[in-house]
């Protein structure tokens, strides 16, 4: 029970890496504010069952990352609980692939709004509370395409690279307040997001990996668990690649 009785905020909990992280955290004893885009009855039931099974609480919180007022209202709900916030995991994100000259500025801004600006806004709010309590661990979800670049991913890779810069700066600014900030850089993971990628490209990617298969969402969640927990107490400002050794 690595996260026994810690309280965590996780965004993007309905599917993919977010859902796997929600499960992993719940199984390891954390209480969770599970953030998602909009009210979803199925999700509510799912959270309730997961909480009962693990003898913890999970509160669904809904907001659209494109809407600052909604983010603020969601975060107010969390701060009104007046509980310590040990962990913030930013997972919610979006991709829209297009080669460079086909990317419109509106698309670019849209991607940045969700993958970068909204995450900063949210993190500012939450780390302010963390500073007050004097501790906390923030985990951001970047991507290997932020580090390596990737064909067709101008907006996605740039937005995720911006997140790395923010992670490193935040880690420096917040370390003295007892807050650690790290990021993960997943490689090609079997998620909804990758379902639209043609099989030929997936096969090409696998050829470049040392571990010859796609990553699983729970494998990403387990590294998030490590970075969120006290196991990584002396680790800050780091980017961990979970990529099967892709080159």
Residue 124 is encoded by which pair of tokens?
Answer: 């500012």
CB 112 to another protein: min, Å: 26
Six-digit token string for 202 = 């997936």
Interface residue with another protein, options 80, 200, 203, 233 (CB under 8 A): 233
Number of residues interacting with another protein: please give it, by CB under 8 A.
36
- Active site annotation includes 156: yes
Plot region of 149 (φ>0 → left; ψ -120 to 50 → alpha; else → beta): left
Is residue 148 a contact point for another protein (CB under 8 A)?
Answer: no
Question: Does position 49 bind another protein by CB under 8 A?
Answer: no
Residue choice 47, 187, 191, 205 for contact with another protein (CB under 8 A) = 187
Q: Cβ 208 to another protein, closest distance in Å?
A: 11
Q: CB of residue 28 vs another protein: minimum separation in angstroms?
A: 8
Interface residue with another protein, options 41, 106, 203, 234 (CB under 8 A): 234
Q: By CB under 8 A, is residue 208 in contact with another protein?
A: no
Write down the residue that tokens 């990553």 correspond to.
Answer: 215
List the one residue from 73, 99, 102, 231 that touches another protein (CB under 8 A). 231
Which one among 175, 192, 201, 204 touches another protein, defined by CB under 8 A?
175
Could you list the residues that contact another protein (CB under 8 A)? 1, 4, 171-172, 175-176, 180, 187, 209-212, 215-216, 219-220, 222-223, 225-226, 230-238, 240-245, 247
Q: Which residues are catalytic?
A: 156
């Amino acid at each position: 029970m690595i996260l026994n009785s810690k309280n965590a905020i996780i965004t993007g909990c309905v599917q993919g890496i977010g859902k796997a992280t929600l499960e992993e955290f719940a199984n390891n004893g954390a209480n969770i504010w599970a953030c998602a885009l909009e009210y979803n009855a199925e999700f509510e039931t799912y959270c309730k069952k997961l909480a009962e099974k693990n003898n913890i609480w999970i509160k669904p919180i809904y907001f659209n990352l494109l809407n600052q007022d909604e983010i603020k209202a969601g975060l107010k709900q969390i701060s009104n609980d007046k509980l310590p916030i040990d962990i913030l995991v930013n997972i919610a994100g979006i991709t829209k692939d297009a080669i460079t000259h086909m990317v419109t500025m509106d698309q670019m801004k849209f991607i940045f709004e969700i993958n970068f600006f909204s995450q900063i806004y949210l993190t500012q709010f939450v780390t302010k509370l963390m500073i007050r309590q004097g501790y906390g661990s923030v985990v951001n979800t970047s991507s290997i395409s932020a580090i390596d670049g990737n064909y067709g991913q101008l907006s996605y890779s740039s937005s995720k690279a911006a997140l790395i810069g923010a992670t490193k700066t935040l880690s420096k600014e917040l370390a003295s307040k007892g807050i650690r900030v790290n990021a993960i850089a997943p490689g090609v993971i079997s998620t909804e997001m990758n379902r639209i990628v043609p099989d030929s490209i997936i096969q090409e990617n696998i050829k470049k990996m040392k571990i010859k298969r796609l990553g699983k969402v729970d494998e990403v969640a387990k590294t998030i668990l490590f970075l969120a927990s006290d196991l990584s107490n002396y680790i800050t400002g780091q980017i961990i690649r979970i990529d099967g050794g892709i080159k």
